[in-house]
Amino acid sequence: MKRLAPLALALAVATANALPAFAQEKVLNLYSSRHYQTDDALYANFTRQTGIKVNRIEANEDALLERLKNEGARSPADVLVTVDAGRLWRAEQLGLFQPVSSKALMERIPGELRHPDGLWFAFSVRARPIFYLKGSVDPKQIRDYEDLADPKWKGKVCIRSSSNMYNLSLMSSMIAGVGPVKAEEWAKGVVANFARSPKGGDTDQLKAVAAGECQVAIANTYYYVRLMKSAKPEERAVAEKVGVIFPNQSGRGTHVNISGAGVLKNAPHRDNAVKFLEYLASNEAQSYFANGNNEYPAVGKVQGNRELASLGDFRKDSLNVSVLGKNQAAAQQTYDRAGWK
C-alpha cells in the first residue's frame, strides 16, 4: 500500500472530514441497556432494509450513562436505547440527547409516549397491573391500585423494593394522579399490608403469589406473558395459578411505562440515527417488540402474540411519560417516609 506524504495525508483526512452526511459510512453506533436476544432480529432487519450496519454496545443503564459522560463530545454513540421513562429522563438531565423533528415519528408515536421537545420516543409499552391468586382472591374486590392499601389485604401483598425503577415510576404516576399527600397515604397502607419485605424481581413476585406466599402483587405484564409462553411446565403452571387485574379503569387508567430511544447530542451519524428511530416506529419493528419480548407496541394493537392479546384491552394512563422522570426524586422520598424499603 502506497504511503502518503504528510501534506497529502493531511489533505486526505481533511477531505474525508468534509464529506457530506450522505457520503459518510453507513453505520449506526448503538448503546443499549435492552438485553433481549430477540432484539438481534430487530436490528438485523434494519440493516437488511437500509444497508446501515448496527454496531451495538450493551450494558446496564448506569454504566452506559457513565460511559457517555466520560466520552463527551468524542463519543462514537449515535443512539441510546433504554427501558423506563425514568432512565430516559436521567439521560436527558445529563444533556445527552438532541431534539429530533421527524414527521414520521410525530405521526406514529402518540403524544403521551414521547418527550414534548422530541428528545426521545417510546417504541414499546409495559403495563404494570395487579396480579392475584386464583381461587383465593375475588378480582372484583380490587378495582384500583388504591385498594391495595385497604387493611383487608394485610399480610397479603408482594412487591419489589422502592428503589426499583419500575416502582419509582409507578409512584411518580400516583403523585401526578392523586397528589403527593394521597400517594404517601397509599404507600403507607401498602407497606402495612406487606406479606414479606420487598425482594427479588417481578417474576419472583408472581411466583410468590402462585405459591400462596402472598395473595396479590404488582408486576409488569411481559414477565407474566413470558411465564405463559415458557418451555418449562413449572413456569407455565405459575401463570395458570395467577390472574391479572388492570386497575383504575373507571379513572386515570392502568400505569404504563416504556422502552424508548433518543439521538445522542454528539451523534456522528445523525441521519442514520433518525432513520433508525423511524424504523423502530414502523409496523414491522413494532411486531418485533410485541412478539419478541411480549411488550405492547407503541403504535397500534398487538398482532401475532396470542398470549399477550389474551390479556385483553384496557385503558392506559394518558399521563405523558416524561412526568415519570420529573417526579422520580419525590417518589423515592415518598417511599422512604412510608418505610418502603
Considering the domain architecture, whether residues 80 and 57 belong to the same structural domain is answered as: yes
Would 10 be classed as within a structural domain? Answer: no
**Mean pLDDT, rounded, for 107-111:** 95
Considering the domain architecture, whether residues 92 and 29 belong to the same structural domain is answered as: yes
Would 90 be classed as within a structural domain? Answer: yes
Q: What is the CATH number of the domain that holds 131?
A: 3.40.190.10
The count of structural domains within the chain is 2
- pTM value is 0.88
Q: Which residues contact 174 (CB under 8 A, 6 or more apart)?
A: 145, 182, 183, 186, 331
Considering the domain architecture, whether residues 106 and 201 belong to the same structural domain is answered as: no
* Structural domain boundaries enclosing 247: 127-255+315-338
Would 16 be classed as within a structural domain? Answer: no
Measure Cα distances from 329 to 10, 22, 33, 175 in Å: 50, 42, 22, 11
Considering the domain architecture, whether residues 242 and 170 belong to the same structural domain is answered as: yes
Decide which of 175 and 285 is more confident: 175
Would 84 be classed as within a structural domain? Answer: yes
Find out whether 79 and 262 touch, Cβ atoms under 8 Å: yes
Report the C-alpha dihedral over residues 54, 57, 58, 59, rounded to 10 degrees.
Answer: -160
Considering the domain architecture, whether residues 191 and 272 belong to the same structural domain is answered as: no
Q: How many other C-beta atoms lie within 10 A of the C-beta of residue 38?
A: 13
Considering the domain architecture, whether residues 131 and 121 belong to the same structural domain is answered as: no
Looking at residue 301, its amino acid is K
Q: What percentage of the chain's residues is helix, strand, coil (to nearest 5)? A: 50, 15, 35
Considering the domain architecture, whether residues 137 and 228 belong to the same structural domain is answered as: yes
Considering the domain architecture, whether residues 166 and 143 belong to the same structural domain is answered as: yes
Share the mean pLDDT of the chain.
91
pLDDT at residue 318 greater than cutoff 90 = yes
Considering the domain architecture, whether residues 174 and 45 belong to the same structural domain is answered as: no
Considering the domain architecture, whether residues 298 and 323 belong to the same structural domain is answered as: no
**Mean pLDDT, rounded, for 158-183:** 96
Would 105 be classed as within a structural domain? Answer: yes
Considering the domain architecture, whether residues 187 and 249 belong to the same structural domain is answered as: yes
Would 310 be classed as within a structural domain? Answer: no
Q: Which residues contact 229 (CB under 8 A, 6 or more apart)?
A: 294, 307
pLDDT per position as a tens digit, 218-264? 999 999 999 999 999 999 999 999 999 999 999 999 999 999 999 99
pLDDT at residue 333 greater than cutoff 50 = yes
For residue 102, what pLDDT band results from cuts at 50, 70 and 90? very high
Considering the domain architecture, whether residues 245 and 180 belong to the same structural domain is answered as: yes
Would 4 be classed as within a structural domain? Answer: no
pLDDT per position as a tens digit, 35-92? 777 788 889 999 999 999 999 999 988 899 999 999 999 999 999 999 889 899 999 9
Q: What are phi and psi of 187, to 5 degrees?
A: -60, -40
Would 11 be classed as within a structural domain? Answer: no
